[in-house]
Structure 1
Amino acid sequence: MAVVFGSMEWYEQVKELANKDEGFKKGTADWEGAVRTVVIMDEELLKDYSREEYVRGFMSTVSLMSKEQRAQFEGTPMGNLMKKLGYSLDVDIATIDPAESAKRFSQLTLDDVKGVEMHGVFEPYHGILREMRPIMPDEYKDARFTLSGPYSAWKALCSGKQTSVQLVMSGKMKLEGDMSYMMKHMAAMNALTKLYSQIELV
């Protein structure tokens, strides 16, 4: 079943597949350390989020946050985005109408989502993917690596159109962290890229 990139279903499918996939287990057999991911909203996201299924995917991750956690976004680009969509940060997520939200997204401009980021983490450990989930911006600040880029680049990666190496080398994505460790463990990144491409996206 096709899933929305970045939704809880997507995170869950990646984790489930990783922990069954022999290629992933072999590629990450000696890997230790988390990779923090940063997805930056862009024009392609605005286009996708004008569709109900994408809004549902987005809200599936927002719903994991408590009202106290969401309150931390006050005055931030994400908090401002929620206001532009007509929602307070303490809104009951279950009451949000995906169709109406999709319509509101379709009326936003690139300036409206400038600086808005979505964060996640994946943490392979000796062949097991033990963490794969959305996170708050202040979590995993000490991750071994941070991989960041616009939504369009992430979709290219997760659909198998380009590898993380290609995207980083072209400047479309940025990788920060222990580069010597990464060079010694490219098999792990290649295994993850291959895994991503096996998840059918909406």
Structure 2
Amino acid sequence: MTTSAYLSGRKRYQRPQAVLWSENAGTLTGGLYVPNGYEVGANTAETDPDLLNQFIILSDHNRSELSFTPQRIEQRQRTINGRMRSYHIADKLQIQFSWNRLPSRAYYQVAAFNETTGISPYKNNTQEFTADGGAGGVAILDWYNNHTGPFWMYLAYDNYANFKEDGEVVNNSFGHLAQYNEIIQVYFADFNYSVVKRGGNNFDMWDISVTLEEV
């Protein structure tokens, strides 16, 4: 099963890759959100299909900014005296991002991530093609093709307000920068890709654009 140590081994820099897609909302372990099951490409003896291929970590390789558009769902109408009255239902997010010239594959072959450390035997050598070992174009497309319904998106960006205590921001709220700190259930709203350049032997270069809407 995935642990915080596994996720630590999968990150290339001080902070994890910005986006992770998962079949499940995971569990809160030691203050960290960790998806249940094993990553696509993990080297494990596990055979339970409910635990295999449960998540992918998206590459930050040539990724654009994460664009958040809040959508306020409400009913508005004017009262008899002309004042506006609003009945607020919910706030939902639309998230957009894209990649420019993302390698079509992260590795020359199956990544074989160590199920404990999260480290691929091909890390930092010529058989690794994305800058951080995150998913390449084909893996992202495959996830899209297999998910006509909702799935979970883990986000790693500075949003310390998610860690209030008794409704207040406290000093401990600021200590979650190097982890996934927001989990949202989403649908694909739009997905498109272009094969920009075909490589000689190793991989192609893809442009990908994704729009997701919160459930």
Instruction: Decide: shared fold, TM above 0.5.
Output: no
> TM-score, length-normalised on structure 1?
0.23
Greater Rg by CA: 2
Structure with higher helix content: 1
> TM-score, length-normalised on structure 2?
0.22
Q: Which has the higher contact order (CA 8 A, sep 6+)?
A: 1
Structure with higher strand content: 2
